[in-house]
Structure 1
Amino acid sequence: MTRSVRAMKTGPVTEEFDHAAASYDRLVGANPGYHRHLRVSARRLRLAQGGTGQRILDVGCGTGASTAALARVFPRAEIIGVEVSLGMLSRAREKPWPTRVRFLHARAEELTPEDLDGPVDAILAAYLIRNCPDPDETLATMCGLLPPGGRMALHEYSVADDAMARAVWTAVSWGVIIPLGRAVTGRSDLYRYLWRSVLDFDGAARLRLRMRSVGLENVRTVALGGWQRGIVHTFLGRTPVGRRAS
């Protein structure tokens, strides 16, 4: 029986990611533009000089696809990948990484600057906020990890404001994602959850409001191309320059 979105968020969703970890890279690799879009969102953080002297937090790093995007776009930055699913994190750690990349097992909403050896200059959270039991708590925690002028990019699904995007998402989910996930992993709970969680998640205007409510400024949405236009977006914001660092 398929669990509800709310029920999945309370813990079983992490277990489903643990189960899917072995085949996750293969599945996302079948999604046209998946890795390129992550690099686009990473680039939109607009860190100068390849990230020289910058520390970037990759929250919800999964098996490391978003970490790899950051490492490629910012070849001189220190990157910290954070993931709650031990299965996904194990896959990420198995990959070859430069010494400037490291990983941490933690819940996003429980992170502190001490966990990270101080503030970070920028945060990328790809496909994370929608899966959090309390998106506002998670956003507030992440905001608190940034210094004044720190930058945040959310790479996230949002279709609530667009009927066509909702229709395309449902067609692709039931025509491709759910059958492929079942064929590769032998079960479909995670992929049914993915479909329903995207439909039930915030519209772009609502997510921007959440970002502003935790203190981010210059909040905006930037489109991504390909078949996911109108479905996946980059949400950008900055902490106020005059704010005291945590």
Structure 2
Amino acid sequence: MLKVENLQVSYGKVQAIYDVSFQVHKGEIVTIIGSNGAGKSTILKTVVGLLRGTAGRIMLDGEEITKKSSAALVRSGVRLVPEGRQIFPGHTVYENLLLGGYVEGDKRLVNRRIQQMYEMFPILSDRKHQLGGTLSGGEQQMLAIARALITTPKLLILDEPSLGLAPIIVQDIFALLNRLCAEGITILLVEQMAAMALEISDRAYVLEIGKIVMEGSGKEISSSEEILRAYLG
């Protein structure tokens, strides 16, 4: 589904990503792990059109999307749940979900999807008239994911969904991602909590200082002694 080939990204004269290549096949959960500053978020922002690479190409379902705008990619079925959630704190839960369907012209379909999100996340139904900024961190993460699901993405991309959350909430989030994948949504995940992420991943890539240094199945990566020392303690 997604194919990234020889991607390079720079911030001014500083190169951040060096010839990175990876693939995400339909129906998979693929994780990119790496330490802070390795370039994980930079890769995701480039994939979704928020940054422009200096070299390489990005393909989605066989079509090159390297120079497409982020708005065009949303219409193509790509959704990003950004680091830090970035919900609209001054808007209600319902309004946040409504904004998630802005590219969908059928208002009845959007409202039907919102009701489905309330069924998937009952706490959001309870909080539907509450401002997003008053929710707990875990509730905000659920809202961010639900907002991305309003128009049923073909590729769901998540940047550090565990950030700032209690371990029990993280377990719930990863269980949800497993369920979404089983329902047909392909997932690309960037995550620092490597052990839990690898447990649900079909395949994984290890990023160090802007370069892919290892790839394999989630099980292979999690059993690597080098990875155990560096990321899993």
Task: Give yes or no for TM over 0.5.
Answer: no
More helix per residue: 1 or 2? Answer: 1
Which TM-score band (shorter chain)?
Answer: 0.3 to 0.5
* Length-normalised TM-score, structure 2: 0.32
More strand per residue: 1 or 2? Answer: 2
* Length-normalised TM-score, structure 1: 0.31
